[in-house]
Amino acid sequence: MNSPETLSLIDCHPSESSFREDVLDGLSREQKQIASKYLYDARGSKLFDRITTLEEYYPTRTEASIMRTEIDAMAEAIGKDTLLVEYGSGSSEKTRILLDRVSQNLQGYVPVDISRDHLMDAAARIASSYPDLDVRPVCADYTSSFPLPEFVEEAARIVVYFPGSTIGNFERDDAVAFLDRIAQAVGAGGGLLIGVDLRKDPDILHAAYNDREGVTARFNLNLLRRINRELNADFDLDAFRHEAVWRSDLGCIEMLLVSTKDQSVRVGEETFSFEKGESIHTEYSFKFTPEQFAEMASEAGFRIERVWTDDQDLFSIQYATVGAW
């Protein structure tokens, strides 16, 4: 099996040119926007890990609590000789709850993340903690196609693990298309174990995305820091503020970076003007009813088999399978 020192990485990290093209395109739109996946460079990933420990941020601890309570049922659903592929593995802390129970039954574990350094650190820790588990990290944008290790053919089935309700970062049509790509990747008989955040009191949501310590603000503003560093830009971080608002019309939290003055910003050879109060959209976080998510999953070819929730119905973990095509 792999040791932390000999982990074999499949590296499909997006190119700098892709980042530049997406940023220039997004800043040229009437509503300026930058895809949320670019929030997760090494520093952004560490800041997000900090967010998950905050008192106001309920999703991570609630999801972990559900997993601890229902882990036997989840392990039964995943089955034996399964290849477990985790999308957006991050620090893989919740994954340990799962691996403590199922690692001995897995064909292998494939963590997938866009932040290479963060991925390799987490994969090395997993490999060290589970020496008999074949760990094969993949650095990739999981919203696009990427290769799986060759040993995938040896597995009885593939199950994608997608915790944290990151599915909520996609608008509806994009979410269905993304779920469809997962269905194609796991194939008939494959499964999906996914975290799905639920509709709730907007005050709870507002507090979760506007924490008192300002960690979420630093996480959001770090995107501008990254653009400055990687794309030769001159964003003044003190001239933008973080804002996260509940959009009742859309059923989501919208995260923004708002210009605090009239200003111009250079990105490479391009210059962009901002009026005071003008914003850059950086993230949606949609919240679902169980019926809404089941409908989306069905359109992508999945059938919801199990739904586990906490006693306050703040969050859900759902298991879905793909039937024969």
Q: Is there a contact between 308 and 73 (Cβ–Cβ < 8 Å)?
A: yes
Residue appearing with tokens 């794309």 = 231
Please name which of 272, 274, 285 lies closest in space to residue 25, comparing C-alpha atoms: 272
pLDDT of 240 strictly over 80: yes
Q: Determine the distance from the C-alpha atom of residue 183 to the mean position of all C-alpha atoms in its chain, rounded to a whole number.
A: 17
More confident residue, 3 or 201: 201
> Please, which residues bridge with residue 242 across strands?
257
Domain range annotation of the chain = 15-52+202-286, 57-200+287-322
More confident residue, 224 or 91: 224
pLDDT of 100 strictly over 90: yes
Q: Express each pLDDT in 26-67 by its tens digit.
A: 999 999 999 999 999 989 989 998 999 999 999 999 999 999
Q: What are phi and psi of 145, to 5 degrees?
A: -70, 145
What confidence category does residue 238 fall into, taking pLDDT thresholds of 50, 70 and 90?
Answer: very high
Residue 51 carries which side chain, given as an amino acid letter?
I
Average pLDDT value for the chain: 93
Query: The domain 57-200+287-322 is classified under which CATH number: 3.10.150.10, 3.40.50.150, 3.10.20.30, 3.40.50.2300?
Result: 3.40.50.150
- Reading the block at residue 97, the tokens are 């709850």
pLDDT of 78 strictly over 60: yes
> Please, which residues bridge with residue 10 across strands?
138
Predicted pLDDT of residue 5: 57
- Its pTM stands at 0.90
What is the rounded (10 degree) CA torsion for 66, 71, 73, 75?
140
What confidence category does residue 92 fall into, taking pLDDT thresholds of 50, 70 and 90?
Answer: low
pLDDT of 21 strictly over 60: yes
What confidence category does residue 170 fall into, taking pLDDT thresholds of 50, 70 and 90?
Answer: very high
Predicted pLDDT of residue 253: 97
Q: Express each pLDDT in 137-147 by its tens digit.
A: 999 988 888 88
Burial code (b: 16+ CB inside 10 Å, e: under 16) for 228-241 equals beebebebeeebbe
What confidence category does residue 179 fall into, taking pLDDT thresholds of 50, 70 and 90?
Answer: very high
- Reading the block at residue 198, the tokens are 């639920």
Share of the chain above pLDDT 70, in %: 95
